[in-house]
Amino acid sequence: MRGFPVPGKSVLLIIGGGIAAYKSLELVRRLAERGIRSRAILTGAGAEFVTPLSVSALTGEKVYSDLFSLTDEAEMGHIQLSRSADLVVVAPATADLMAKMANGLANDLASTALLATDKKVLMAPAMNVRMWESPSVRRNRTILEKDGVLFVGPNAGEMACGEFGPGRMAEPHEIAAAVERALGADGPLKGVTALVTAGPTREPVDPVRFLANHSSGKQGYAIAEALMAAGADTTLISGPVGLAPPQGVKLKRVTTAQEMLAACEAALPADVLIMAAAVSDWRPDIAANSKIKKSVDRVVPLIKLVENPDILATLAHGPRRPRLVIGFAAETDDVVQNAVAKRARKGADWIIANDVSGDVMGSDRNRIHLVSETGIEDWPDMTKTEVGARLAARIAEKLKGAA
């Protein structure tokens, strides 16, 4: 999944020397998908692993490598190069590049650009596990973090040298997500706190059975990631799903509706509440302590159901009500009409309605209707990631107008 779109932004990508340099090519493509342009500095060591032609073909820009090139200085001096982008990304960030920046050394174009930049720097380290764990590299990382340098990775895994442990460069999609977070830190939702719920709840019948629904959690996770990428301090309360947690989002896992309500109340106050979870309306009055067995005479056991707490209404009418409360209405009939009634009944500011009579709950696409005090917005069919990004933009517009 991807977060809040950042079209028009650009990065200066410094490609260090290491076997992981080939991943930088995929990173350029991943950034382009997000509307983020790349210009690259290829170190001498990096050119041993990827060619200037391959980097230039993907970035669509000239590749820079020589500090003392009169042509490059005339076209784009190293000072301007270091400040022309919105973010400097070092991938792979070798021990050499980390040491140079930490200790103020500048003897090539890459290290000079790192010292001359006035922009944030994001490093994706890649090196042998023994190098990564060495006292000098740990010391340099501490210095760089104190100086405000951001890091993504490294991951643990098998190295090209055959050893195993932390030192593998983060995957391109992980670095691209970190780039979005870094660029979104000053985004339209900077300073806003957001609370999102996602996924189903499970209400136990006995130790092996439960009541639930088909919610995949994809839409709630996409919304949480989009809010985070737009700069919001985002907390995600998730029911049981098979999704990887969005990086940068504070995640709290729950199972039942009662647990979800308690987790939401503990996470307040917040500026924005988005209840995307498909909460079970009922739960068994008493959950059996052991498996309910099929009787010999085939008598179906009676299970008394009681109503679960209405989390949206409880928080919308509570003493710590967020500034903007957004609920979801998953309907199979009279979608918009039911959403309009639900907004009034629950006390929400907005209701996002969608037709779940098909396979929406498990798919990657959604078509929604946003019901607000000003009327109804019919959004076109789009991916759930796109829904999340568009909703984050609408929230930013709403909060800006209310400021």
Instruction: Check whether 7 has a pLDDT greater than 60.
Output: no
- pLDDT band of 299, cuts 50, 70, 90: confident
Residue entry with tokens 């987790």: 263
Say whether 264 is catalytic: no
- Tens digit of each residue's pLDDT (9 = 90 or more) over 129-167: 999 999 999 999 999 999 999 999 898 877 776 777 788
Q: Which of 161, 266, 305, 376 is catalytic?
A: 161
For the chain, the structural domain boundaries read 10-184, 193-402
Q: What's the average model confidence in pLDDT over 369-374?
A: 95
95: pLDDT strictly greater than 80: yes
Instruction: Grade residue 252 by pLDDT with cuts at 50, 70 and 90.
Output: very high
Would you put residue 162 in left (φ > 0), alpha (ψ -120 to 50) or beta?
Answer: left
10-184 and 193-402 have identical folds: yes
Which has the minimum average pLDDT: 72-81, 259-268, 364-373? 72-81
Question: Quick one: fold of 193-402?
Answer: Rossmann fold (3.40.50)
Q: How far apart are CA 63 and CA 56, in angstroms?
A: 6
DSSP, collapsed to helix, strand or coil, labels residue 308 as coil
Q: pLDDT digit string (tens) for 99-139?
A: 999 999 999 999 999 999 999 999 999 998 999 999 999 99
CATH number belonging to the domain at 10-184, selected among 3.40.250.10, 3.40.50.1950, 2.60.40.1930, 3.50.40.10: 3.40.50.1950
Token code pair at residue 367: 């078509």
pLDDT value at residue 74: 53
What percentage of the chain carries pLDDT values higher than 70?
92
Mean per-residue pLDDT, 297-324: 92
Q: What is the pLDDT of residue 261?
A: 98
d(CA 183, CA 197): 25
Q: Which residue matches tokens 């989009």?
A: 226
